[in-house]
């Protein structure tokens, strides 16, 4: 018998609502899965990947996010407050596994790192302990460390500790930039590649982008096995931001701006707005040098990484 899993998201009102359900006779025979942060591009792809084998319940935090899933094969969409253990307990009923995708890299008027990472993960863990959940897979970020001076990376690491310090089997995947067709990172990369003149903060910064399908394969491998602990996963090649732009088709002039200028701009934006488009913590994450050996993690997960060239062809067919 297949195990049941849950896809979860969060709500700003501390309650959940059944947005829609499509429980056919055939679907009632399937085990249930839940995914948090299901409206993101990884969450939506996971829904499509898992819906053929499981009954999928998607959790999101707002009506707007719920509407984004209306055309997906999710069996249910619920709005839930991720930071409420009682709300999450109701959302996890009947499930034995959770894919936890909730996270932010930029604080704003309506969201902060502590709630998005630590409090949400704590509520998830408490709810899991009160239900039949046996496995949690958490998507974290490369560079997470409790000793980091970056507020986001430190917060992510503290959220990881909630899981690693518990008794429920948990797998944590730390990943860098994820590229998939029509997602935000890919659109930004292709927009940059199509320009004649581009600017980038520290163009020598190292990137190690990973294909979204490889991330999904890793999540599935963790969920369907007894693999536990923290694993760092990235694409097969590390290269400078400048070279990545060129591999994506950029042939113009790239002007590399010093990081101190970016920090100054971010500080001014934080001062001028309670919902800045860029923050110092966000800029620091984007500037993180990613260059890790993935061989051991790839072997442990039993997956094969997609080459960067193949990934770029998938997000931009013109590169084929």
What's the pLDDT at 30?
A: 73
pLDDT score of 188 more than 70: yes
Residue 111, Cβ density class (10 Å: 0-12 exposed, 13-18 middle, ≥19 buried) = middle
CA-closest candidate to residue 17, choices 57, 46, 71, 51:
57
CB 6 within 8 A of CB 133: yes
Q: Is residue 305 pLDDT above 50, yes or no?
A: yes
Specify the pLDDT at position 54. 81
Which long-range contacts (C-beta less than 8 Å, at least 24 apart) are formed by 252-256? 252/195, 252/196, 252/197, 252/198, 253/196, 253/197, 253/198, 254/198, 254/199, 254/200, 254/203, 255/197, 255/198, 255/199, 255/200, 256/200, 256/201, 256/202, 256/203, 256/204
Averaged pLDDT for residues 262-268: 93
Q: What integer pLDDT is reported at residue 4 of this predicted model?
A: 46
Give 320's Cβ-side CA count (13 Å radius). 6
What does the mean pLDDT of the chain come to? 89
What length does the chain have?
Answer: 320
Tell whether the model's pLDDT for residue 225 goes beyond 80: yes
User: Helix 184-193 crosses helix 308-315 at what angle (to 10 degrees)?
Assistant: 90
Q: Is the pLDDT of residue 21 over 50?
A: no
pLDDT at 320 over 60: no
Residue 108 pLDDT: 87
Q: How many CB atoms lie within 10 A of CB 157?
A: 23
Helix axes 85-92, 120-129, angle to 10 degrees: 50
User: What are the backbone dihedrals phi and psi of residue 217, each rounded to the nearest 5 degrees, phi first?
Assistant: -60, -40
pLDDT of residue 121: 97
Give me the mean pLDDT over the 281-308 stretch: 94
Which residue has 């790239």 as its token pair? 254
Percent over 70 (pLDDT), the chain: 90
CA distance 121 to 102: 9
Domains defined along the chain, listed by start: 6-319 (3.40.50.720)
Instruction: Give the per-residue pLDDT at 53.
Output: 80
Residue 22 has pLDDT above 60, yes or no: no
**50-54, 85-89, 199-203: lowest mean pLDDT where?**
50-54
Beta bridge partners of 173: 139, 231
**6-19 residue pLDDT tens:** 455 433 333 333 33
Q: What is the pTM of this model?
A: 0.88
């Amino acid at each position: 018998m297949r195990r049941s899993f849950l896809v979860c998201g969060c709500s700003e009102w501390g309650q959940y609502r059944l947005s829609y359900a499509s429980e056919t006779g055939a679907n009632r025979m399937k085990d249930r899965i839940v995914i948090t942060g299901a409206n993101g591009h990884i969450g939506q792809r996971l829904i499509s990947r898992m819906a053929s084998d499981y009954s999928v319940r998607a959790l999101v935090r707002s009506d707007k996010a719920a509407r984004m899933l209306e055309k997906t094969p999710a069996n249910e969409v619920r709005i839930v407050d991720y930071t409420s253990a009682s709300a999450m307990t109701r959302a996890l009923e009947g499930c034995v596994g959770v894919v936890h995708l909730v996270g932010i890299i930029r604080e704003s008027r309506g969201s902060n790192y502590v709630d998005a990472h630590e409090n949400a993960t704590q509520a998830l863990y408490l709810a899991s302990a009160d239900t039949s959940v046996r496995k949690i897979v958490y998507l974290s970020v490369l560079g997470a460390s409790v000793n980091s001076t970056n507020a986001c990376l430190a917060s992510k690491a503290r959220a990881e500790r909630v899981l690693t310090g518990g008794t429920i089997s948990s797998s944590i995947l730390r990943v860098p930039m994820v590229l998939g067709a029509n997602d935000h990172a890919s659109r930004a990369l292709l927009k940059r590649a199509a320009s004649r003149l581009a600017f980038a903060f520290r163009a020598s910064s190292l990137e190690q982008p990973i294909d979204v399908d490889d991330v999904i394969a890793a999540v599935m491998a963790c969920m369907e096995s007894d693999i536990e602990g923290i694993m760092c996963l990235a694409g097969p090649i590390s290269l400078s931001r400048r070279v990545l732009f060129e591999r994506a088709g950029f042939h113009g002039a790239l002007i590399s701006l010093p990081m101190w200028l970016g920090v100054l701009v971010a500080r001014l934006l934080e001062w001028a707005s309670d919902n800045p488009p860029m923050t110092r913590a966000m800029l620091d994450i984007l500037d993180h040098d990613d260059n890790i050996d993935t061989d051991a993690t790839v072997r442990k997960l039993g997956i094969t990484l997609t080459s960067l060239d193949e990934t770029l062809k998938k997000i931009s067919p013109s590169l084929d």
